[in-house]
């Protein structure tokens, strides 16, 4: 990493004060779930963003949301109980980093807390924990997610999250300034004229919208292989994308066969 030697009180004649130093980084390659969760906080008592991204992108293959959250909350409580032993300042810094981990988790992977049951026990655990320990931002975020998911149950749950062409047309209207690139142009074509460009625009636009909604963690083999056991809601974004591609393929095949036999 780069080091500014001015900060170390070293005087040099040239104007370039930027130098380099070699540092050693600790990276965990394998370990128990408890050890992996502990390593979310680096040696400098800050959230390890690299390990955070890797862990929360893959943990579903060997752990559950509730088990990971429980380990984080248990460590938070243990720091509070042992603050006199490890030092109040150090304990407060580590607790702040743990709060950052949980808040980033809620922001980046909110679907992890969208449990099949309607009671949302994990979110309720966070809400109660935030109330007891006076963590306002965590409590507020968990409560907002819970209200959002409760509304989704009333609106049709997971399928309601997948956008439809009718929703885009209804929300945007037909007076968009960027008409050349917006959904209306892709949606308004005459199939009888066989305008291939506009048909391709519509299909490409819709495929892009589905891919933007696709959750990468649902593409993992460990998640996709359990779709029949855990329910279709665990892979709803993947299923919507596959259904769209299959529908287009079927319609194209029927059209080609109809023209061929005519």
- The residue extents of the domains of the chain are 30-155, 159-261
Per-residue pLDDT of 148-188, as tens digits, reads 888 877 766 555 555 554 444 434 443 444 544 555 544 54
Segment 25-39, tens digit of pLDDT: 677 777 788 888 888
Q: Which CATH homologous superfamily contains domain 30-155? A: Son of sevenless (SoS) protein Chain: S domain 1 (1.20.870.10)
Rounded CA-CA distance 224/239 in Å is 10
User: Each residue of 141-153: pLDDT tens digit?
Assistant: 999 999 988 887 7
What is the pLDDT, as a whole number, of residue 208?
76
Average pLDDT over residues 199-210: 73
Average pLDDT, the chain: 74
Q: Is the pLDDT of residue 206 over 80?
A: no
The single residue listed with the structure tokens 């507020």 is 140
- Residue 41 main-chain phi, psi, to 5 deg: -105, 120
Give Rg (Cα) of the chain. Answer: 26
What are φ and ψ of residue 179, in 5° steps?
Answer: -60, -30
Across the chain, where does the E strand assignment appear?
2-4, 18-20
| Mean pLDDT, range 51-68, rounded to an integer | 86
β-pair type (18-20, 2-4): antiparallel
Higher-pLDDT residue of 55 and 236 is 55
Angle at 221 between CA 219 and CA 226, to 5 degrees: 100
Residue 16: its pLDDT value, please? 54
């Amino acid at each position: 990493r780069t080091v500014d030697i001015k900060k170390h009180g070293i005087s040099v004649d040239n104007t370039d004060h930027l130098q380099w130093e070699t540092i050693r980084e600790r990276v965990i390659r394998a370990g128990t779930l408890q050890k992996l969760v502990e390593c979310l906080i680096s040696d400098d008592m800050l959230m390890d963003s690299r390990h955070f991204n890797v862990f929360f992108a893959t943990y579903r293959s060997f752990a559950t949301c509730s088990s990971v959250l429980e380990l984080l909350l248990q460590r938070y409580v243990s720091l509070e109980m042992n603050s006199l032993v490890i030092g109040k300042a150090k304990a407060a810094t580590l607790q702040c980093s743990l709060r950052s981990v949980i808040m980033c988790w809620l922001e980046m992977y909110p679907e992890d807390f969208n449990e099949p049951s309607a009671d949302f026990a994990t979110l309720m655990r966070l809400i109660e924990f935030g109330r007891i320990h006076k963590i306002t931002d965590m409590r507020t975020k968990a409560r907002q997610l819970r209200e959002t998911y409760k509304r989704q149950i009333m609106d049709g749950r997971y399928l309601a999250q997948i956008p439809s062409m009718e929703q885009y047309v209804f929300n945007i209207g037909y007076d968009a300034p960027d008409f050349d690139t917006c959904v209306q142009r892709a949606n308004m074509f005459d199939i009888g004229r066989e305008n291939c460009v506009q048909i391709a625009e519509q299909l490409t636009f819709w495929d892009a919208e589905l891919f933007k909604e696709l959750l990468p963690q649902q593409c993992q083999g460990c998640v996709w292989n359990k779709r029949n056991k855990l329910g279709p809601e665990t892979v709803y974004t993947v299923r919507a994308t596959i259904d769209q591609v299959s529908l287009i393929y079927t319609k194209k095949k029927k059209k080609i066969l109809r023209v061929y036999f005519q």
